Amino acid sequence: MSNVIVEKKGAAGWITFNDPAKHNAMSLDMWAAIEPALAQFADDDDVRVVVVTGAGGKAFVSGANISQFDKLRTSAEAVAEYEKVGEGAQMALFNFPKPTIARIQGYCIGGGLGIALCCDIRLASAGSSFSLPAGRMGLGYRFSAIRNLVSAVGAANALDIFMSARRFDAQEALRMGLVHFVRPDEEFDAFVQDYVSKVEANAPLTLRAGKAMIREFQKFPPDADLERMRDLVLRCFASEDYQEGKRAFAEKRAPQFKGR
């Protein structure tokens, strides 16, 4: 079975990350599947909205697939390629012209949080939990993902989420503005379907126009040093701390970071 399921349900396109045994941790192939799935839905006039979710009921996306790090996120060339694919997928989702909804049930961690923040609307079940644990791994986190986080929760909350790497629940995510709605698990599917139906019923061109205008407000400032931001990310991946973070994760111990 595919690790990314792409299907239509009425006027909604669904993208489901489907590796529940690994809590839907994102492999490179899963990142690569996002753009063609979105292209398929962009070309289908019957699709009014796209829902992004995770299979299994325990995770939206629990982050990156750590088992691939030694092979795909170690050498400078491999890191650059992985970042290119991951960034391309997230920007394709962020810039998708039709409405997008993140259906979050369970873990929404690291790259999963990044994916959710690329969606226009985030709906969460009450049992969901959130975290951005880049600091515990010593890896770099994309500038575009930081921009989306700050846009959603403001700089003060973004700094707390990033600096502490702590895990927090759906109600706190709601208070911060990270998600739009939270519903009990037993009511969640019905609520999601009701919300999707509301979006489907609205005028597609009006929604596209409004979304495009909002995205204009969210563009990087013209004086942003994007090259420096990319260099900062790549320097994290080239660091001794990143190697230590991977070892500590594999050995299930606390990392001993040295700042180099």
Q: Which residues contact 179 (CB under 8 A, 6 or more apart)?
A: 104, 116, 122, 123, 124, 170, 173
Residues linked to residue 142 through DSSP beta bridges, in sequence order: none
Residues in the chain: 260
> How high is the pLDDT of residue 68?
64
> How high is the pLDDT of residue 67?
66
Closest CA to 120 of 138, 143, 95: 95
Share of the chain above pLDDT 70, in %: 95
Per-residue pLDDT of 89-127, as tens digits, reads 999 999 999 999 999 999 999 999 999 999 999 999 999
Burial class (CB in 10 A: 0-12, 13-18, 19+), 92: middle
On whether the CB atoms of residues 106 and 169 are closer than 8 A, the answer is: no
Least confidently predicted of 58-72, 202-216, 220-234: 58-72
Which of the pair, 26 or 78, is modelled with greater confidence? 26
Calculate the alpha carbon distances from 13 to 38, 47, 56, 223 in Å: 9, 6, 19, 37
Q: Which residues contact 233 (CB under 8 A, 6 or more apart)?
A: 83, 140, 141, 142, 143
Per-residue pLDDT of 132-163, as tens digits, reads 999 888 888 888 899 999 999 999 999 999 99
Q: What are phi and psi of 134, to 5 degrees?
A: -55, -40
Closest CA to 95 of 54, 50, 150: 50
For the segment(s) 4-186, the CATH number from 3.30.1330.20, 3.30.460.10, 1.10.357.10, 3.90.226.10 is 3.90.226.10
> How high is the pLDDT of residue 184?
98
On whether the CB atoms of residues 31 and 85 are closer than 8 A, the answer is: yes
Amino acid (one-letter) located at 72 = L
